[in-house]
């Protein structure tokens, strides 16, 4: 079976986990602090805060930036549902924005402009497949409209200026992402005060940490804000530090394999379109392609599975899920709907071989 996404796990991860068990301190200790420092350094920022998922991280980004009831947040519908759910967690209203087009399936600046009303307070951009949105352009857009800029960077760790130009960003270490802690996430912020607020909010809004109290550095605490339990534990942080060290190498391998896919499709199967240009800045999280119009995608996926190749769809558009359809019954986003009806995600992970890529393209070509 050629699987869609495979985490790379080995002896180093085992050792890291065992050392936490041997040490006896299990959550929010020195390993979390070390993981945060390493993540911040790799992204060229001063500090980072580890959380237990990217979803929790997105919630904290919105909450710490003061987004709430009565506010609107511009967001793509071509994303994982968590991006949009987080807007509802803080009581704000999502405003779905179409994508630019089939070749660049990113949130469209022109459509965002058209839908940006007087209640808009923030825009969440999502680096689809790891391909970075134009962050300088979105920074200007946000500034021109008085919006906070938030990045859903679940697909795009350690690439370009990710996390450096926005007001806040959230990363994911879920099992199928470019690096994993099984479950986990990280947040960055443009201002240190926002990051400090997120640190407070991830642990019930308490003013001192568990380790400080354990060590007798603090005997009491205040609760100065509404918080949650979004903490990361030491096991995940220890594993995360090991994974992070290999992330640049894995991202590079993913880029090589993506370029190979692109070359093979243009040589052998030009009817299959590959979004974005080969030189686009990317962590190459996904390998999305667009099937020719009129192809029964369900049948293609079933036959690929029979041929031992796992495929997927990224994503069913969020505004078409029944929960969101009830809220936005008449909304139509033609580019998003067209893209999502033809998109097929092919296997891509660092352990894939060039031969694997060749057989995926060969199998798809035969089926088409
Ligand atoms: C995976 C993912 C999330 C959620 O990440 P978790 O860490 O599982 O909460 C959010 N947004 C996007 C785009 C994702 O791919």
Domain ranges of the chain: 11-242, 247-367
Ligand 1 centroid vs 54 CA: distance in angstroms? Answer: 5
- Among 82-91, 117-126, 200-209, 325-334, the minimum mean pLDDT is found in 200-209
Q: Which residue among 5, 52, 82, 127 is best mutated to probe the pocket of ligand 1, counting the most ligand atoms within 8 A of its Cβ?
A: 82
Q: How confident is the model at residue 51 (pLDDT cuts 50, 70, 90)?
A: very high
Q: How confident is the model at residue 354 (pLDDT cuts 50, 70, 90)?
A: very high
How far is Cα 133 from Cα 280, in angstroms, rounded to an integer?
A: 10
Q: How confident is the model at residue 216 (pLDDT cuts 50, 70, 90)?
A: confident
4, two tokens: 């869609």
Q: Is the dihedral of CA 107, 113, 117, 118 positive or negative?
A: positive
**Ligand 1 pocket, residue 29 CB under 6 Å:** no
Q: Residues 354, 119: contact at Cβ < 8 Å? A: no
**Ligand 1 pocket, residue 185 CB under 6 Å:** yes
Task: HSE, CB side, 13 Å, CA atoms: give it for residue 184.
Answer: 28
Angle at 344 between CA 340 and CA 349, to 5 degrees: 125
Ligand 1 centroid vs 53 CA: distance in angstroms? Answer: 8
Domain 247-367 has CATH 3.90.650.10: no
Q: Residues 271, 289: contact at Cβ < 8 Å? A: no
Ligand 1 centroid vs 228 CA: distance in angstroms? Answer: 18
Residue 16 has pLDDT above 90, yes or no: yes
**Ligand 1 pocket, residue 169 CB under 6 Å:** no
Note if the pTM is more than 0.85: yes
Mean pLDDT score of the chain: 97
CA 117 to chain centre: 26
Q: Which CATH architecture has domain 11-242?
A: 3-Layer(aba) Sandwich (3.40)
For 213, residues 6+ apart whose C-beta sits below 8 A from its C-beta are 219, 221
SS3 of 43, please? coil
SS3 of 223, please? strand
**Ligand 1 pocket, residue 287 CB under 6 Å:** no
- What share of the chain in percent tops pLDDT 70? 100
Q: Give the pLDDT score at 58.
A: 99
Q: Give the pLDDT score at 54.
A: 98
């Amino acid at each position: 079976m050629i699987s869609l996404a495979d985490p790379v796990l080995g002896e180093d991860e085992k050792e890291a986990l065992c050392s936490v068990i041997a040490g006896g301190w299990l959550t929010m200790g020195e390993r979390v602090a070390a993981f945060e420092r390493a993540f911040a350094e790799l992204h060229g920022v001063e500090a980072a805060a580890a959380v237990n998922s990217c979803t929790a991280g997105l919630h904290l980004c919105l909450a710490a930036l003061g987004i709430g009831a009565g506010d609107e947040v511009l967001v793509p519908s071509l994303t994982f549902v968590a991006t949009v759910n987080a807007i509802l967690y803080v009581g704000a209203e999502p405003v779905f924005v179409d994508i630019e087009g089939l070749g660049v399936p990113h949130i469209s600046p022109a459509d965002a402009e058209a839908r940006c009303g007087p209640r808009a307070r923030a825009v969440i951009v999502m680096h689809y497949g790891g391909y970075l949105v134009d962050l300088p352009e979105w920074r200007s857009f946000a500034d021109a409209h008085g919006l906070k800029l938030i990045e859903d960077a679940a697909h795009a760790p350690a690439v370009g200026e990710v996390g450096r130009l926005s007001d806040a960003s959230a990363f994911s270490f879920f099992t199928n992402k470019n690096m994993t802690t099984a479950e986990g996430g990280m947040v960055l912020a443009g201002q240190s005060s926002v990051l400090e607020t997120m640190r407070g909010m991830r642990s019930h809004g308490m003013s001192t940490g568990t380790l400080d109290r354990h060590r007798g550095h603090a005997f009491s605490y205040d609760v100065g804000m509404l918080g949650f339990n979004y903490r990361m534990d030491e096991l995940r942080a220890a594993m995360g530090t090991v994974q992070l060290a290999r992330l640049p190498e894995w991202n590079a391998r993913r880029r090589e394999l993506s370029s190979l896919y692109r070359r093979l499709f243009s040589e052998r199967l030009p009817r299959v379109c590959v979004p974005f240009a080969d030189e686009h800045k990317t962590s190459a999280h996904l390998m999305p392609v667009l099937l020719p119009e009129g192809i029964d995608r369900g049948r293609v996926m079933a036959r690929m599975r029979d041929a031992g190749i796992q495929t997927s769809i990224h994503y069913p558009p969020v505004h078409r899920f029944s929960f969101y359809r009830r809220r936005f019954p008449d909304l139509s986003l033609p580019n998003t709907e067209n893209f999502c009806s033809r998109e097929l995600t092919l296997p891509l992970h660092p352990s894939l071989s060039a031969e694997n890529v060749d057989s995926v393209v060969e199998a798809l070509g035969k089926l088409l």
